[in-house]
Structure 1
Amino acid sequence: MKILVTGACGYVGTTLVPKLLARGDEVVAFDIMWFGNDLTPHPALTVVRGDVRDAATIPLDGIDAIIHLASVANDPCGDLNPKLTWEISALATMQLADRAAREGIKRFIYASSGSVYGIKDEEQVTEDLTLEPISEYNKTKMVAERVMLSYADDMAVQIVRPATVCGPSPRMRLDVSVNMLTMQALTNGEITVFGGNQVRPNIHIDDITDLYVMLLERPELRGVYNAGFENISILDIARMVDAQVPTKITVTESNDPRSYRINSDKLLATGFKPNKTVNDAIREIIVKFQRGELKNEDRHYNLRWMQRGVQA
């Protein structure tokens, strides 16, 4: 299978692409490379530096399936430049979907976000609940989902609403909760928790990438799927880190009330099973750090890096 992966040089993409290549797929990796390119060269890998906002430049010749990961990731980055966020995360998705449908591509996997639900009181946040996004990032994901579903008669549309991803990747991110708190413990000997009662759903990076691979193999699984298996408060995540890296935990006040929970029973009913946990992610990050393979650098923090003006 020949697969186009947009955002292929990102946190999820750099873990996903090697798995696709290992399956024997041919991969076209399309990315603007704001954060560089950590993909290992491979005979079946073509890396294209480009901007998804220019849909006509995205190579679709011979493509059997698209995995669309490209977006401005997380709330702070989305709010940094709302116009840019809408152009990349919503408008570009619409243009790519339209072009894919016109060119007869029959498979389209879209990476949305578990945060599209907004703040919910329900303990079980299932796919049938209303979407009430509260940030530019969440809103663009919701709009892009609706665009994608409008093409459901033209191609197999598979939408994933991932939890917060955790664990090590070639293109590392240290601005997501588990990874960030683990790095704080390793470098400072102290974790600062703002509030702490906010709940975040989590999924290991190996599990979310395994899910994309499974969806390629199961085109009949159409529609929307939550993907997250551990709904844990920020304070409890800090305690899990402390259990592996003894550290001081300092709790301060927070004006951020956002709590996200998701229920993934619909996904589990397909036979998909997660193989890793938050504790696995913490342990793996510790090992990478201790081996000198992971350092606390600005390029691992999306907002810091974008504030340097890498985006255009």
Structure 2
Amino acid sequence: MNSKTVLVTGATGYKGTVLVPKLLAKGYRVIAIDTQWFGNFLQNHNNLTVIKGDVRDTHSIDLTNVDAVIHLASIANDPCGDLNPKLTWEVSALATMQLADKAKKTGIKQFIYASSGSVYGVKEEEQVTEDLSLEPISEYNKTKMVAERVLLSYTNDMAVQIVRPATVCGLSDRMRLDVSVNMLTMQALTNGKITVFGGAQVRPNIHIDDITDLYIYMLENPDKTSGVYNAGFENISILDIAKMVQAKINCEIEITPSNDPRCYRINSDKLLATGFKPNKNVESAIEEIISAFQAGQLKDEERYYNLKWMQKEVL
């Protein structure tokens, strides 16, 4: 077991709630910072310190004795980012810049950043690799791109590891039902019908267990994984995801027109070449959501939809 201390921002969010227990199980000490807008589902643990705080208050974040930062905090997804652009830039770009600067001054040697696979914008290429141009189209994507650029300027000071994840799917105690696989599965379970807007749009996907395992893999292999990495292993159209759900739940699929041009694919060969291997997929996410719902462990709740919840509780 190790005795490293890891600061995780956005630690009570969808990914953080899965990541933090994994870090604790491996013997890390974890300092978890989050506004807790969506609650706190982390269990108490001797090696866990949970701080209800805002990453924008960088001066109040104590980095003394911290060995590495895993920076997950941001205003997540396009609709939420567009809700209050000023907030989005402050949280997702400015706070990242200030935190990186503080990490450098404190002597922290490792900074892992959760960017987004959507920073490429809409690409025609079948293989969207890390060297393609970034042409973000939403406030969310733009802040991620700017934060990446800022962090890469610190590569002489610390190991900077940037992940561009696909759309995450699967179960978390702090669930999200506004991401494609989770949302379509829940629609089928609660309505017996899936509504697909358009359907031809392709989304890259990654299971929540794989993305959280990847952050730990990067934490433990800083030399092998410095730089920028795509992380998504299944590029699937929305309609095909709906059909995967339909194969497991008796439901109908209704297709309606869409004016959403966003079509994202990513290629993760660079990441696979480091030795990282995913263990799960979209199908396992669908199966796990169905099981949790049928066991009464998962309900269709308003707080699992970021946009609705932020409009109601935060802004």
Residue in structure 1 matched with residue 143 of structure 2 by the alignment: 140
Which of 43, 46, 57 aligns to 2:46? It is: 43
Q: Distance in 2 between matches of 1:141 and 1:219?
A: 21
Q: Which secondary structure does the structure 1 equivalent of 2:54 belong to?
A: coil
Residue in structure 2 matched with residue 297 of structure 1 by the alignment: 301
Residue in structure 2 matched with residue 233 of structure 1 by the alignment: 237
Q: Distance in 1 between matches of 2:19 and 2:289?
A: 18
Q: Distance in 2 between matches of 1:109 and 1:246?
A: 41
Residue in structure 1 matched with residue 189 of structure 2 by the alignment: 186
Which of 24, 29, 33 aligns to 1:30? It is: 33
Residue in structure 2 matched with residue 75 of structure 1 by the alignment: 78
Residue in structure 2 matched with residue 53 of structure 1 by the alignment: 56
What is the 5 A alignment of 1:1-312? 1-220=4-223, 221-311=225-315
Residue by residue over 1:258-310, the C-alpha shift from the partner in whole angstroms, topping out at 9 and shown as x without a partner, is 10000000000001110001000000000000111100000000000000142
Residue by residue over 1:212-252, the C-alpha shift from the partner in whole angstroms, topping out at 9 and shown as x without a partner, is 00001101020000000000000000000000111100000
Q: Distance in 2 between matches of 1:29 and 1:128?
A: 33
Q: Distance in 1 between matches of 2:234 and 2:100?
A: 32
The letter for the 2-side match of 1:154 is D
Residue by residue over 1:121-163, the C-alpha shift from the partner in whole angstroms, topping out at 9 and shown as x without a partner, is 0000000000000000000000000000000000000000000
The letter for the 1-side match of 2:300 is N
Q: How far 1:58 moved relative to its partner?
A: 1.2
Q: Distance in 2 between matches of 1:272 and 1:225?
A: 11
The letter for the 2-side match of 1:125 is V
Q: Distance in 1 between matches of 2:69 and 2:305?
A: 27
Q: Distance in 2 between matches of 1:196 and 1:225?
A: 27
Q: Which secondary structure does the structure 2 equivalent of 1:48 belong to?
A: strand
Q: Distance in 1 between matches of 2:131 and 2:286?
A: 32
Residue by residue over 1:51-85, the C-alpha shift from the partner in whole angstroms, topping out at 9 and shown as x without a partner, is 11110111211100000000000000000000000
Q: Distance in 2 between matches of 1:71 and 1:225?
A: 19
* Structure 2 length-normalised TM: 0.98
Q: Distance in 2 between matches of 1:102 and 1:245?
A: 53
Q: How far 1:40 moved relative to its partner?
A: 0.7
Percent of pairs with identical residues: 75
Q: Which secondary structure does the structure 1 equivalent of 2:199 belong to?
A: coil
The letter for the 1-side match of 2:238 is I
* Structure 1 length-normalised TM: 0.99
Aligned residues: 311
Q: Distance in 1 between matches of 2:222 and 2:261?
A: 38
Q: Which of structure 1's runs of 4+ aligned residues deviate more than 3 A?
A: none
Aligned-pair Cα RMSD in Å: 0.5
